[in-house]
Amino acid sequence: MDDTFDDEAVSRRPEFAVAGRGREWLGRLVRVLRRWAAMRRQRLDLASLSDWQLRDLGLTAEAALKEARKPFWQ
C-alpha cells in the first residue's frame, strides 16, 4: 500500500469542501474586522485634529465630531 498523501483526492471529499468554505468565511470575517478597526482609528484621528487642521481639510469641528461619534460598523 502506498502511504503518500493525495491532496487532490482529499480535496474532493465533501467534508474537506466544507472546511474550505469555512476558511473563506473566516477570511471574509477577518477583512470586515480589519475594515471596522481602520474606520475606528480614522475616526479617532479625526476627532483629535485641531480646528486649523479641520479647516485645512474643509471640515467644521461639528462635522468632524458627528463623524467621529458614528459606530465603527457604519
Name which residue leads in pLDDT, 18 or 50.
Answer: 50
The whole-model pTM stands at: 0.62
Residue 15 lies in a domain: yes
**Considering the domain boundaries, does residue 12 fall inside one?**
yes
Q: Is 74 inside any structural domain?
A: no
List Cα–Cα distances, 62 to 21, 22, 52, in angstroms. 44, 43, 13
Give the DSSP letter string of 2-58: -----HHHHHTSHHHHHHHHHHHHHHHHHHHHHHHHHHHHHHHHHHT--HHHHHHHT
Instruction: Decide if 1 is inside a domain.
Output: no
In a domain, 60, yes or no: yes
**54 touches 60 (CB < 8 A):** yes
d(CA 28, CA 19): 14
**pLDDT by residue (tens digit) across 37-74?**
999 999 999 999 999 999 999 999 999 999 999 998 88
Structurally, the chain folds into a number of domains equal to 1
Q: Is residue 39 part of a domain?
A: yes
Which residues form the domain of 36? Answer: 7-68
